[in-house]
Structure 1
Amino acid sequence: MIKRILISFSVMLVALFFAQMASAKKSGLAFIRDAEIEHTLRSYASPLFIVAGLNPEDVSIHLINNRVINAFVAGGQRMFFFTGLLERVETPGQLKGVIAHETGHIAGSHQSRTQEALKNATTKSILGYILGAAAVFAGGGKAGAAVVSGSQAVAQRSFLKYSRQQESAADQASMRYLNETNNSGRGMLKFLEILGQTEQLSYGKVDPYWRSHPISQDRIAALRNQVDKSAYRDVLDTPEEIHALKQIQAKLYGFTRSLAKTLKKYPHSDQSAEGRYARAIAYFKHPDIEKAEIEIENLLTEFPDNPFYYELKGQMLFENGDPHAAVTPLEIAASYLPYEPLILTLYGTVLLNTGYPEDDAKAIEVLRTSTRYDPGRSGTWNQLAIAYSRRGDTGNLALATSERFLILRQGKKAIFHAKRAQQNLRTGSPGYLRADDIISLASRLLKKN
Structure 2
Amino acid sequence: MRKTPVPLLLVIVLLFGTLLPQATQASDRLRLIRDAEIEGIIRAYATPLFQAAGLSPQGIRLYLVQDRTLNAFVAGGLNMFINTGLLMQAEHPGQVIGVIAHETGHISGGHLATRGTALAQTRGALIATYLLGLGAALATGESGVGAAVLSGGQDIALRGLLQYTRTQESSADQAAVTLLQATGQSPRGLMEFMETLRGQEVLLTDNQDPYLRTHPLTQERIIFLENAVRQSPYADKPPDPELVVMHNRMRAKLVGFLQPLGQVLRAYPEDDVSLPARYARAIAYYRIPDIEKALVEIDGLLGESPEDPYFRELKGQMLLEHGRVAEALPEYQAAANALPNSPQIRQALAKAQIQMNDRDLDRAALDNLAETLRQEPNNPSAWRLAAVAHGRLGDQGMTALALAEGAFARRKYAEARDRAEHALGLLEQHSASWLRAQDVKNEAERQVNRNN
- Aligned 8 A contact 1:384 1:400 in 2: yes
TM-score (norm 1): 0.88
Q: The residue matched to 1:27 in structure 2 has which SS?
A: coil
Shift of 1:128: 10
Shift of 1:388: 0.8
C-alpha separation between the residues in 1 aligned to 2:119 and 2:242?
Answer: 36
C-alpha separation between the residues in 1 aligned to 2:313 and 2:250?
Answer: 14
Question: Is it true that 1:109 corresponds to 2:123 in the alignment?
Answer: no
Structure 2 counterpart of 1:237, from 232, 236, 239: 239
Structure 2 counterpart of 1:399, from 401, 426, 442: 401
Is the alpha carbon distance of 1:57 and 1:203 closer, same or farther for their aligned partners in structure 2, counting shifts above 3 Å?
closer
Query: Which letter does structure 1 place at the counterpart of 2:261?
Result: L
C-alpha separation between the residues in 2 aligned to 1:9 and 1:442?
Answer: 37
C-alpha separation between the residues in 2 aligned to 1:200 and 1:382?
Answer: 51
Moved more, 337-346 or 204-213: 204-213
What is the RMSD of the two structures over their aligned residues, measured on CA atoms? 2.6
The residue aligned with 1:19 is: 12
The residue aligned with 2:43 is: 42
- Aligned 8 A contact 2:102 2:173 in 1: yes
Query: Which letter does structure 2 place at the counterpart of 1:125?
Result: T
- Aligned 8 A contact 1:95 1:187 in 2: yes
Shift of 1:213: 1.0
Query: Which letter does structure 2 place at the counterpart of 1:117?
Result: Q
Is the alpha carbon distance of 1:280 and 1:440 closer, same or farther for their aligned partners in structure 2, counting shifts above 3 Å?
same
The residue aligned with 2:139 is: none
C-alpha separation between the residues in 1 aligned to 2:422 and 2:126?
Answer: 26
Is the alpha carbon distance of 1:70 and 1:283 closer, same or farther for their aligned partners in structure 2, counting shifts above 3 Å?
same
Moved more, 373-382 or 327-336: 373-382
Is the alpha carbon distance of 1:147 and 1:8 closer, same or farther for their aligned partners in structure 2, counting shifts above 3 Å?
farther
Shift of 1:120: 5.7
Question: Is it true that 1:126 corresponds to 2:119 in the alignment?
Answer: no
Is the alpha carbon distance of 1:17 and 1:204 closer, same or farther for their aligned partners in structure 2, counting shifts above 3 Å?
closer
Instruction: Give the 5 Å matches for 1:327-366.
Output: 327-366=329-368
Is the alpha carbon distance of 1:201 and 1:312 closer, same or farther for their aligned partners in structure 2, counting shifts above 3 Å?
farther
Shift of 1:422: 2.1
Is the alpha carbon distance of 1:400 and 1:212 closer, same or farther for their aligned partners in structure 2, counting shifts above 3 Å?
same
TM-score (norm 2): 0.87
Is the alpha carbon distance of 1:357 and 1:14 closer, same or farther for their aligned partners in structure 2, counting shifts above 3 Å?
farther
Query: Which letter does structure 1 place at the counterpart of 2:70?
Result: I
Question: Is it true that 1:379 corresponds to 2:381 in the alignment?
Answer: yes
C-alpha separation between the residues in 2 aligned to 1:175 and 1:297?
Answer: 43
Question: Is it true that 1:180 corresponds to 2:173 in the alignment?
Answer: no
Q: The residue matched to 2:111 in structure 1 has which SS?
A: coil
Instruction: Give the 5 Å matches for 1:294-333.
Output: 294-333=296-335
Query: Which letter does structure 2 place at the counterpart of 1:190?
Result: E
The residue aligned with 2:79 is: 78
The residue aligned with 2:140 is: none
- Aligned 8 A contact 2:9 2:257 in 1: no
Instruction: Give the 5 Å matches for 1:119-268.
Output: 125-126=129-130, 152=155, 156-201=158-203, 205-268=207-270
Moved more, 291-300 or 372-381: 372-381
Q: The residue matched to 2:87 in structure 1 has which SS?
A: helix
Shift of 1:200: 3.8
Deviations 1:253-285 (A, max 9, x none): 111122122111110111111100000000000
Structure 1 counterpart of 2:423, from 421, 424, 431: 421
Deviations 1:371-421 (A, max 9, x none): 112222111111111111111111211121111111111111111122222
C-alpha separation between the residues in 1 aligned to 2:400 and 2:126?
Answer: 24
Is the alpha carbon distance of 1:201 and 1:35 closer, same or farther for their aligned partners in structure 2, counting shifts above 3 Å?
farther
Shift of 1:9: 6.2
Moved more, 107-116 or 79-88: 107-116
Is the alpha carbon distance of 1:73 and 1:205 closer, same or farther for their aligned partners in structure 2, counting shifts above 3 Å?
same
Shift of 1:235: 2.6
Runs of 4+ residues over 6 Å off in structure 1: 127-130, 146-149
C-alpha separation between the residues in 2 aligned to 1:224 and 1:109?
Answer: 25
Is the alpha carbon distance of 1:156 and 1:178 closer, same or farther for their aligned partners in structure 2, counting shifts above 3 Å?
same
What 5-or-longer segments of structure 1 have no aligned partner?
A: 1-6, 131-145
The residue aligned with 1:93 is: 94
Q: The residue matched to 2:73 in structure 1 has which SS?
A: strand
Query: Which letter does structure 1 place at the counterpart of 2:63?
Result: H
Q: The residue matched to 2:207 in structure 1 has which SS?
A: coil
- Aligned 8 A contact 2:427 2:433 in 1: yes
Identity %: 40
The residue aligned with 1:412 is: 414
C-alpha separation between the residues in 2 aligned to 1:441 and 1:379?
Answer: 20
C-alpha separation between the residues in 2 aligned to 1:202 and 1:90?
Answer: 25
Is the alpha carbon distance of 1:203 and 1:271 closer, same or farther for their aligned partners in structure 2, counting shifts above 3 Å?
farther
C-alpha separation between the residues in 2 aligned to 1:274 and 1:175?
Answer: 31
Aligned length: 423
C-alpha separation between the residues in 2 aligned to 1:189 and 1:31?
Answer: 27
Is the alpha carbon distance of 1:123 and 1:382 closer, same or farther for their aligned partners in structure 2, counting shifts above 3 Å?
farther
- Aligned 8 A contact 2:41 2:246 in 1: yes
